[in-house]
């Protein structure tokens, strides 16, 4: 398998997540307004909330294409490679023979787009593919099983 980006549907998941975060922030701001009316909480708290949530939302939304563009993964017959980040880059390599578990996770949002968070666990670390199609997950699991049957990486 070649190095490939995450499934493009993950962008929709991130967008919706960012949207929901904003919604929660708006509720908090409304709560602050109510607190201002009822118990005379200071007005600047509301302004602070508004400014922070505007900045947060703007960052969240503008970063989505970048986050997407710089997240890659690759599953070869012997290893899993993960790349992420632009300003702070991270490259991880995990030989298949070190993988102890592959756990799949999907909250309601990921489920809706038929995606799964793939956690690749070694004896000491956990590496995450933020969104994988069921095929990816299956491929990974098959490969691990396959390798377990074969002679292990000769060491």
Partner 1 sequence: MTSKVRHLSPISIFIFWGQLIYNWWIFILMGWGWLAGSVGQFKWLFLGLIILLLIIFAVIRYLRFTFSLGEQLITINSGIFLKQTRHIPYSNIQTVQEEQWIFLKPFGLENITIETAGKEEKHGEARLLTVSKSVAAEIEAYRKKSAQSQSDQLVSKVTSSATTVDSPTTYTINGSDLNRYALTSLSFLPIILGLLWLVNKIQELVPKSFLNSFNAQLVHLSLVIIIFIVFLIITIGFLISYLNVIQKYYRFTLTSAKQSLTTVRGFFQRKTVGIRLSKIQAIDFKQNVIRQLAHLSTVQSLIASNASDDENGHNLVIIPVIKETEALARSQRFVEWLPQQINENRFKFSPRAWFFIRNSVLIYLTIVAFPLVLAYFFWSVAFLYVLPFGIFLLFVGYFQGRYVAKNTGFQVVSKNLIVTQTGYLWTRRRSFIQRDKIQSIRLKQSIWMEPKKLTHIEFNLRKGNDNDAIQLRYLSVTDAETILKWYQPQVLSN
Residue 122 in the binding site for partner 1 (CB under 8 A): yes
Task: Check the CA dihedral 145-146-152-154 and report its sign.
Answer: negative
CB 73, CB 129: distance < 8 Å: yes
Task: Supply the minimum distance, in Å, between the C-beta of residue 46 and partner 1.
Answer: 31
Strand order in the sheet with 72-75: 4-5, 72-75, 79-84
Q: How far are the Cα atoms of 16, 48, 119, 125 from residue 61, in angstroms, in the given order?
A: 10, 20, 25, 30
* Residues 57-116 close enough to bind partner 1 by CB under 8 A: 76-79, 86-98
Between vectors from CA 105 to CA 99 and to CA 106, what angle results, nearest 5°?
155
According to CB under 8 A, which one of 49, 67, 106, 127 is a site residue for partner 1? 127
Task: Supply the minimum distance, in Å, between the C-beta of residue 81 and partner 1.
Answer: 9
Instruction: Please say which residue, 33 or 79, places its beta carbon nearer to partner 1.
Output: 79
Instruction: Please say which residue, 38 or 87, places its beta carbon nearer to partner 1.
Output: 87
Q: Residues in contact with partner 1, total (CB under 8 A)?
A: 25
Residue ranges that bind partner 1, judged by CB under 8 A:
76-79, 86-98, 122-125, 127, 150, 153, 155
């Amino acid at each position: 398998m070649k190095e490939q980006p995450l499934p493009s549907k993950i962008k929709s998941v991130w967008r919706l997540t960012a949207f929901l975060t904003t919604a929660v922030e708006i509720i908090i701001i409304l709560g602050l307004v109510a607190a201002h009316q009822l118990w005379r909480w200071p007005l600047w708290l509301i302004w602070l909330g508004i400014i922070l949530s505007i900045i947060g939302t703007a960052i969240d939304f503008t970063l989505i294409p970048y986050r997407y563009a710089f997240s890659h993964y690759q599953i070869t017959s012997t290893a899993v490679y993960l790349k992420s980040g632009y300003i702070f880059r991270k490259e991880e390599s995990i030989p298949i023979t070190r993988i102890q578990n592959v756990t799949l996770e999907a909250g309601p949002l990921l489920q809706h787009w038929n995606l799964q968070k793939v956690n690749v666990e070694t004896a000491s670390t956990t590496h995450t593919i933020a969104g994988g199609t069921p095929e990816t997950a299956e491929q990974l699991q098959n490969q691990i099983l396959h390798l377990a049957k074969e002679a292990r990486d000769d060491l």
